[in-house]
Amino acid sequence: MTLRDVVYKDSVKFILSGGKGGVGKTSCAGAIAVLSARYGFRTLVLSTDPAHSLSDSFDQDLSGGEVIPIKGFDNLWGMEINTEKGMQQFQDIIGDGAAGPEAQMAANLMGDMTGMSPPGSDEAMAFGKILEFIEDSSYDRVIFDTAPTGHTLKLLELPDLLDSWLGKMLTLRQRLSSMMGGLRSMFGGGNQDEDNSWEMIQQTKDKIRAARIELSDPDTTQFIVVMIPEAMAVFETQRLLANLDTWHIPATNMVVNQLIPPNPSCMFCTKRYEMQQTNLKDIRDLFSDIDITEVPLFDGEIRGLEELSRLGMILIGDSEDET
């Protein structure tokens, strides 16, 4: 399946753009978002990378953690996830749920429950957005500009980590509820209405399991690996693909970005060109089972709709927009 097939396939709802830092993940995510919107999909593009650059790509402020309409479209929206804001909301939820006598006893025995935060907090917020938009029918397609490779791998590991963490929280809740119920009965206390915060935790576990199924379905999800033709990027990409395979995340397409054109009159340019061509041959050999799209180095920043559109046409092998 070519990248063009991915972009224009109706059933593909989630596209993740990822790879080593500085390879052009955000530009590719933005370009694919523009293509998707122009094809008619109601499209949301969001950045889960703490070092956001999505605003720069669209030349529009998309910060603040809220969905913002992209200028020039009526079916394209963007957002940079605000992890600090998200973590505060998470702490507020845990704090509210920890107001009962069970939580007070737990605080005495184990310390303040509001201090119990899940592993990989930034990744938790990013994955929380994935959970949110998997259930949201407002968009035909959601495109994720993911964090650099290492952070992305943590995000992909998060479902199992959160599942274990939430399971421990539920077990603690059940034990404390039973204990406090016995004490209330002993002293003649009536039944007290349970808050629903722990039911929400159980629902979150169910959502995580559903998300793993959704993200492993090649008909609905595709991970686009973005790299540059340098040795270190090749090693990073091998590691990324191995982990994607472990988590059963479909990754059938690769973008090799920033290819330098031949320039015999420039010795430096020629050396760089030859180095890239050697690495490009290795890339083709190593990843022969993946559809590879080669993208030339632009002579300026890829910023704004015009440049993103130009990149999009290269990604799908067209010289002009389909619409």
**Over the stretch 258-294, which tens digit does the pLDDT of each residue have?**
999 999 999 999 999 999 999 999 999 999 999 999 9
Cα 158 to Cα 123, 127, 146, 185, distances in angstroms: 7, 8, 14, 40
CB count in 10 Å sphere of residue 275: 14
The residue assigned the tokens 């010289």 is 319
pLDDT value for 111: 40
How far are the Cα atoms of 73, 81, 138, 150 from residue 27, in angstroms, in the given order? 18, 17, 24, 19
pLDDT at residue 282 in the model:
95
Q: How many other C-beta atoms can be found within 10 angstroms of the C-beta atom of residue 291?
A: 15
Is 182 among the domain residues? no
CATH number of the domain to which 301 belongs: 3.40.50.300
Burial of 29 (0-12, 13-18, 19+ CB in 10 A): buried
| Number of Cβ within a 10 Å radius of residue 46 | 26
Question: How many other CB atoms are found less than 10 A from the CB of residue 3?
Answer: 25
| C-alpha separations of 195 from 47, 102, 184, 273, 308 in Å | 34, 11, 17, 64, 48
**Would you say residue 7 lies in a domain?**
yes
Q: Is residue 119 one of the residues assigned to a domain? A: no
Contact indicator for 97, 103 with CB cutoff of 8 Å: yes
Q: Is residue 243 part of a domain?
A: yes
Q: What is the mean pLDDT of the chain?
A: 81
Q: Is residue 52 part of a domain?
A: yes
Residues of the domain holding 285? 3-82+129-163+219-315
**Residue 322, in any domain of the structure:** no
pLDDT for the residue numbered 115: 46
Question: How many domains is the chain built from?
Answer: 1
191 burial (CB, 10 Å; 0-12 / 13-18 / 19+) is exposed
- Which stretches does DSSP call E strand in the chain? 14-19, 43-47, 68-69, 76-80, 141-145, 221-227, 253-259, 291-296
| CB neighbour class for 61 (10 Å; exposed up to 12, middle 13-18, buried from 19) | exposed
Q: Which residues pair with 213 in a beta bridge?
A: none
What is the token pair recorded at 57?
């790509």
Q: Which of 31, 22, 88 is nearest to 49 (CA)?
A: 22
pLDDT of 323 over the 50 cut: no
- Specify if 124 maps to a domain: no
The answer as to whether 252 is a domain residue is yes
Instruction: Calculate mean pLDDT across residues 49-71.
Output: 89
SS3 44: strand
Q: How far apart are CA 142 and CA 132, in angstroms?
A: 11
Q: pTM value?
A: 0.79
Buried b (16+ CB within 10 A) or exposed e, 261-272: eeeeeeeeeeee
Q: What is the pLDDT of residue 259?
A: 97
- Whether the pLDDT of residue 220 is over 90: the answer is yes
